[in-house]
Structure 1
Amino acid sequence: MTIDKQQLQKLLWAEAASFRADCADWKRNTEALDEFLGEKTVGEVALELLAENEALLKLAPSKEIIWCACGDGHAANSYGAGFMDANGGVCQNCDAAQPMVSCPLELFETLRDSANTEADEHRQCMATYRPLRQASLDSVVKKCDDLLAAKGKGEQS
């Protein structure tokens, strides 16, 4: 709707206030409002404003949040939520969207054992010299152990 909403509001308040006060200015304010509206009635303008407001509400971010497996949330009517809907429930840049790589369990156990051996050797020789590397190695071994435990197979180190 192309109407000066600030001017409309000013004229409506003036008309309403003068009507309530049973003021002599009421007729003048009503005529000014009618002149401003031209061919439209106050009711028509109100309906157009309500329709415009409804359309704007549809564009506003939704209060409902759609959550991705990675923990990111997106407003229900946002691009992110639309992307998730079209992409099997995962958001555009999350880790959950990365395909899982499968390998034989024996190979995975061998990799875990190798990382564990390297972590043990590092702990004996350089753990105090490179504590971040030690933490990284320990983390890799723990993740492997956790994945193997989830599968219900493999010997825990």
Structure 2
Amino acid sequence: MHKKWSIFVMVSLLVLSVSVNKVQAKSASKIFLHYTDDATKKAVKGVTFTLNKVAGEGKSGYVFTKAYQKNKVTLSSDDTLKNIQIAKQLEKVSKKGIKRTTNKQGKITFNNLKAGVYLIRQTKAAGSAKNYQKIEPFLVYLTESTKKVTYDLTAITPVTMTVFG
């Protein structure tokens, strides 16, 4: 009886150690966008944004996806000005992507994203959203530890100048 109990305990410990040592699945990240009017602070509905994965995480930095491999740029999450320039350059070669349109609360969400670098660009505006300046493309850097990223975007009405003379 004692021998059977010892074998049971040893097998139980082995099973327990196997289940404890399983690698946890990497969690997915989310990007939230909230788009509001600069003057009224009201939500802007009907703006379509497109998300493209530009690069994934490699062992020694970011590795461009196939669609972006020909670009001669270096990604850097620390340099905001450089990232604006890179986003504009990458926008020129971007084609398809994941499209989302702002709802009546001015919100959209991109779900189930893996670590990497993403380009977000405004691709369409409908209804009263056409009255605002287009949002410049921008890059979002997601790491394995990123759960969610929220961007508050501000819609600005273009200024018109009248010259009297």
**Band of TM-score, shorter chain:** under 0.3
Q: TM-score, normalised by structure 1?
A: 0.22
- Structure with more contact order per residue of length (Cα contacts < 8 Å, sep ≥ 6): 2
Q: Return the index of the structure with the highest Cα Rg.
A: 1
Q: TM-score, normalised by structure 2?
A: 0.21
Greater share of helix = 1
